[in-house]
Amino acid sequence: MSDQLSLLDNESPPAIDRFEAILFGQDSTDRIVAIEPAETKLRVWRREVGDSLVPSDEEFRPWILTLTWRDEIPGEPLQLDGDGFRFLYTFASWSAFQDARFKLRDAHVEHLTYASASKLALIASGKTLFKGMTLEDVVRMQVDIETTSLSSAREEDRILIIAVRDNRGHLETIAEDDERAMLNRLVALVAERDPDIIEGHNILGFDLPFLMARAERHGVRLALGRDGSEVRVGIERNFAIGGITRPFTPAYIFGRHVFDTYLAVQRFDWARGSLTSFGLKQVARAFGIAVEERQEMDRADLARIFVEDRERVLEYAQHDVIETARLAELVAPTEFYQTQMVPDSYGSAAVTGTGEKINSLFIRTYLAHGRAIPRPQPPRPYSGGYTDVRATGVIDRVVKADVESLYPSLMLHHRIKPASDSLDIFLPALAELTRRRFEAKAKARIAAGTEQTYWDGLQSSFKVLINSFYGYLGAATFNFNDYHAAERVTELGRELVQDVANRMEKSGSRVIEIDTDGVYFVPPDSVQGEEAERAYVTEIGSTLPVGIRLAFDGRYQSMVSLKTKNYVLYGYDGSKTFKGASLRSRADEAYGREFLARAIDLLLKHREDEVGRLYATTIEEIAGHSLPIEKLARRERVTEKTHTSTAKKRSAAVAGDTPIGDYITVYERRDGTLGLLEQYTPGDENTAYYMDKLYKFAQRLREAFSGDFDALIPKPTAHGLPHQHQVSLDLF
């Protein structure tokens, strides 16, 4: 920290320009692939051109900021300029820092620091990881395991295969009768290949926990760390996906990063809405990255096939790691290139929200200039963006116009920034990110191969940060938030997007939906074809303020418009994009998801009567116990709430001693209790419950029907549809 503080009086740190320092940190050291803080030292690894790995040690001084002088912390703090967190304490050791942090916490003293030693070190030093590197410059290893079951609890629940691949040409399948030998080979292989990043699909939720459990059972040290240490499990945290979070349990490997493509693809698909499942094989097919002539097999049959046809399962496992590598190359670049800017480890940056990333950029810059960090403004409500659905149903010939980066553009045009930004870095950082993104996009358009991949990943990382600057203003936890500024942005945004929609309607368009910065509409009859649609959007946007651009953002054969932010887009190429949890929730049972998917296909073809027949047929199948129980059952994750929440009583009754974090698959029994799928008795499912739920699934599509919804989709009785029940009575 002392080296960094020597720069406090410099408006622009030496050897690196102001924008570089704000966005990439004041230390220009490149090709750092990992850091690991210890008690008093910071171990740094650089991977030089040619792949040699060079470790070095530096001083590490963790730090804490307080609002006032604190007698309980030994030593004299450095007083920073400005108001807020202005007393900076640094510590000669990690244990001294922890002692002070726990004292402040126990005394309920407001303070600013981080529990992550890596983040403290990176903020203080101005270093970031991966500077000057592409995704292919780092050594990336993919790991996938095949097992006899999804549980690792029993002796017989063993690993069959460990498949390993890296981006330096190694591909190996470890398959031994001795599970202990397999685990030892994995440890040796990781040490030999020395990857910077270990990737896997659901590696945090399944592969690593399973490997750790089996290693513990056999007394094997799963020493995957660069110092020979074992994998360490962290405390459960939340993974930010768009506007929601999902819990996961991180794992740490000393000197390496763990990247989970299962989590990353959910964030990648958030805005696109193209995936209905996040399983590796489904994702690979959807994105066109599946291995040609890929081995396919039901997971339940894998152990049996392994005995009968070992080579087939080995090939299956190899295909898994190859597809994991391809998926990582698709979903990892945004987070990888952000890590070149953000003072955090790659594994953490990959699961952290963008608002926190921006906050750490600002904190790093303010500390580098000896400035206090302001306290966040207390939360208060304010009006958000404008959303409106002006037409529902199945609508053909749809176009979308989008105000490019609406909120960032408004902030730059109207000079809207946090009042607490005394260094005036908010708008310059936003402008520079925007400039660099346009530059990277232009280079991506004319590049090819790996160079094109690099520039596209870079522009994507800039884009994600740019679009988070507004959200940063209106979030309660960030130090430079400003609700007045956020309110001004949304006020201007509402005026602008409504003006765009009104101009469209006056010129003969039919506006379908307005969502913050975009408008879905049917253009006038005189506007036919993509070229004319693009020209029309340009004309509508011609009166917008300088620097704010209305862009053509897609054209669609049809749209199923239901309610705000719930719709399906059907492209001219046959692709479908789902928006809204009511249409693609993974919490829904398979039979409900399948019904909705098939019903939407029929609605897009304007075949409403066939939706009614599909509904009636499905009701008959449920009532007649002919729908497979696997389609009716649902998967539930066992959490602490399973055993403590009153609403989860039924789940707790069947969860038994299932470990926290594992999953159970349950169905509703005839008596209203839950049963485990593996204990299902034919005919035991609650048909009345599942028929009623099908009706609720169908209700989600009510607004799409132009005819009499209630006539086509009648509410079922406990025995089936009213007319079906009447027919059955007439038979006797």
Burial class from Cβ neighbours inside 10 Å (0-12, 13-18, 19+) for residue 351 reads: buried
Pair 625, 562 in one domain: no
Across the chain, which distance is largest between two alpha carbons, in Å? 95
Computed from CA positions of residues 35, 36, 41, 45, in that sequence, does the dihedral angle turn out positive or negative? negative
Q: Do 202 and 269 have their domain in common?
A: yes
Range of the domain at 284: 140-331
Q: Where are the beta strands (DSSP E) in 362-429?
A: 387-389, 393-403
pLDDT for position 298: 79
Query: pLDDT tens digits, residue range 613-667?
Result: 999 999 999 999 999 999 999 988 888 888 888 889 899 999 988 877 778 999 9
Q: pTM higher than 0.85 for the full model?
A: no
707-719: average pLDDT: 93
pLDDT at position 582, please?
78
Assess whether 572 and 626 both reside in one domain. no
What amino acid occupies position 329?
Answer: E
Are the beta carbons of 198 and 186 closer than 8 angstroms? no
Mark 504-534 as b/e (b = at least 16 C-beta within 10 Å): beeeebbbbbbbbbbbbbbbeeebeeeeebb
559-592, pLDDT tens digit by residue?
999 998 899 999 999 988 888 877 877 789 999 9
DSSP result, 307-340: HH-HHHHHHHHHHHHHHHHHHHHHHSHHHHHHHT
Give the three-state DSSP class for 358: helix
Distance between CA atoms of 141 and 413, rounded to whole angstroms? 45
Residues 168 and 311 in one domain: yes
The rounded Cα 131 to chain-centroid distance in angstroms is 23
Two tokens at 577?
């994009």
- Report residue 699's pLDDT band, with 50, 70 and 90 as the boundaries: very high
569 and 628 within one domain = no
Whether residue 368 is contained in a domain is answered as: no
**pLDDT 10s digits, 162-192:** 999 999 999 999 999 999 999 999 999 999 9
Q: Which of 585, 606, 634 lies at the terminal end of a domain, its last residue?
A: 585
Residue 195 and residue 307 share a domain: yes
In this predicted structure, the answer to whether residue 724 has a pLDDT above a threshold of 70 is no
Q: What is the pLDDT of residue 512?
A: 98
Say how far residue 251 (Cα) sits from the centre of its chain.
17
State yes or no: pLDDT of 456 exceeds 90. Answer: no
In a shared domain, residues 203 and 307: yes
Is 257 within the bounds of a domain?
yes
Looking at residues 14-27, what average pLDDT do you find? 79
Angle, CA 647 vertex, CA 582 and CA 702 arms, to 5°: 20
How much is the mean pLDDT over the chain?
91
Q: How many domains does the chain have?
A: 3
Task: Give the three-class secondary structure for 126.
Answer: coil
Give dist(CA 19, CA 644) in Å, integer: 51
pLDDT at 271: 66
449: in domain = no
- On the 0-12 / 13-18 / 19+ scale of CB atoms within 10 A, 295 is middle
118-145 per-position pLDDT tens digit: 999 999 999 999 999 999 999 999 999 9
Residue 258 and residue 245 share a domain:
yes
Same domain, 549 and 682: no
How many other C-beta atoms lie within 10 A of the C-beta of residue 341? 27
Report whether 198 contacts 141 (CB < 8 A): yes
Q: Is the pLDDT of residue 103 over 50?
A: yes
pLDDT, tens only, 260-282? 999 999 888 876 667 777 889 98
Is residue 359, in this structure, part of any structural domain at all?
A: no
- Give SS3 for 489: helix
Residues in Cβ contact with 102 at an 8 Å cutoff, skipping those fewer than 6 apart:
none
pLDDT of 428 reads 94
In a domain, 489, yes or no: yes
In a domain, 474, yes or no: no
Q: Parallel, antiparallel, or unpaired for β 87-90 and 63-66?
A: antiparallel
- CATH number of residue 506's parent domain: 3.90.1600.10
pLDDT digit string, tens, across residues 396-454: 999 999 998 899 999 999 999 999 999 999 999 999 999 999 999 899 999 888 788 88
Quote the DSSP letter at residue 543: G
Alpha-carbon distance of 296 to 302, in angstroms, equals 10
pLDDT in tens, 308-340: 888 999 999 999 999 999 999 999 999 999 999
Q: Residue 732's pLDDT is what?
A: 35
Considering the domain boundaries, does residue 383 fall inside one?
yes
- Regarding whether 560 and 597 lie in a shared domain, the answer is no
Provide the 8-state DSSP code for 168: T
In a domain, 347, yes or no: no
d(CA 347, CA 208): 14
275 and 396 part of one domain: no
CB burial of residue 656 (10 Å; 0-12, 13-18, 19+): exposed
Residue finishing a domain among 268, 303, 331: 331
